[in-house]
Amino acid sequence: METKLKYRWGRLLNQNRTAIIVEIALVFGLPMLFMVFVSPYAKGNLLAEHVVVWFTNAIMILLISIGLWLRGESWKDFGITLRLGNTKELLRVFLWSLLVFVITLIAFGLGYKVAILFLQTDLQMDMSGYEYLKNNTGVFILSLVGVYVISSFGEEFIYRGFLVNRLAWLFNGIRFKNVGAILLSSILFGLIHYKWGAIGMVQTFFMGLALASSYVLLKKRLNICILAHAYMDSLLFLNIYFG
């Protein structure tokens, strides 16, 4: 009975556009409801607020993983592999990740230039939510580990692995389906960084463009994007830590 039910849902998710739309809505809607209800209890505690966000991302990862399981797929279908490979392959992945990191960093800076041009402001991103990191070594290290797992890995898994693939499937038959998937996933990636202010949303939109484009061009090698994202997060956190 369980196998038949799994097959039925898996087949629906593989063939029905409405089912994909519902899946996307659930993956983003249910965790956001969790955040809305839980966030008030963490209000005023910056670290606790970020823990709520981390749990929200963890729920999204779980829901996406259930969708993969129903399809008979795994994280490998998004381009994630835990196999280390030989030294040559590891070096190749590392060098590609550095290249993607540089491209992403340039895109992030370009986003700032575009933002101040159109928003007519010289303000920076609002990073006040990370004040607890300044000169606090223990919390900085713990937060960085959490960010690697939930942001570097989690956001790539959600916004590149899941969203780009599902949107491209929805746009199947359209000439520029990958372009549409990249744009929409990047817009959503920018919007979820609303706490960083308008400039922060524009910059993360450009960051999303660079990472999503790299993901598609590198034939869905998500490991590379995860590493590049981790380098970005490290740079950001070090910048905040040292004030």
Q: What pLDDT score was predicted for residue 122?
A: 63
Q: What pLDDT score was predicted for residue 121?
A: 67
Q: Domain check: are 195 and 130 in the same one?
A: yes
Q: What pLDDT score was predicted for residue 230?
A: 96
Q: Domain check: are 104 and 192 in the same one?
A: yes
Q: Domain check: are 137 and 41 in the same one?
A: no
Q: How far is CA 42 from CA 38, 193, 226, in A?
A: 7, 18, 28
> Token pair for residue 219?
């034939």
Alpha carbons 149 and 73: distance in angstroms, whole number: 22
Which of 44, 77, 110 delimits the end of a domain? 77
Q: Domain check: are 51 and 160 in the same one?
A: no
> Token pair for residue 104?
């992403």
Q: Domain check: are 64 and 139 in the same one?
A: no
Q: Domain check: are 14 and 97 in the same one?
A: no
The residue written with tokens 């409801």 in the block is 33
Q: Is position 4 within any domain?
A: yes
Q: Domain check: are 71 and 166 in the same one?
A: no
Q: Domain check: are 129 and 218 in the same one?
A: yes
* Structural contact between residues 179 and 217, judged by C-beta atoms closer than 8 angstroms: no
Specify the number of domains making up the chain.
2
Alpha carbons 31 and 94: distance in angstroms, whole number: 33
Which of 49, 77, 105 delimits the end of a domain? 77
Alpha carbons 160 and 163: distance in angstroms, whole number: 6
Alpha carbons 50 and 196: distance in angstroms, whole number: 13
Q: Domain check: are 57 and 122 in the same one?
A: no
Q: Domain check: are 41 and 146 in the same one?
A: no
Name which of 60, 219, 34, 68 is nearest 151 in CA terms.
60
Collect all residues with Cβ–Cβ distance below 8 Å to 210 and sequence separation of at least 6: 100, 103, 104, 106, 107, 108
Q: Domain check: are 98 and 209 in the same one?
A: yes
pLDDT digits (tens, 9 = 90+) for 172-208: 878 788 999 999 999 999 999 988 888 999 999 999 9
Q: What pLDDT score was predicted for residue 46?
A: 76
Which of 21, 56, 77 delimits the end of a domain? 77
Q: Which domain holds residue 233?
A: 87-243
Q: What pLDDT score was predicted for residue 161?
A: 96
Q: Is position 163 within any domain?
A: yes
Q: Is position 82 within any domain?
A: no
Q: Domain check: are 72 and 92 in the same one?
A: no
- Please give the model's pTM, rounded to 2 decimal places: 0.91
Q: Is position 145 within any domain?
A: yes
Residue by residue, pLDDT tens for the chain (243 residues) are 557 767 778 888 888 899 999 999 999 999 999 998 998 888 878 778 878 888 999 999 999 999 999 999 999 999 998 776 788 888 999 999 999 999 999 999 999 999 888 877 667 777 777 777 777 787 788 888 888 888 899 999 999 999 999 999 999 878 788 999 999 999 999 999 988 888 999 999 999 999 999 999 999 999 999 999 999 999 988 888 776
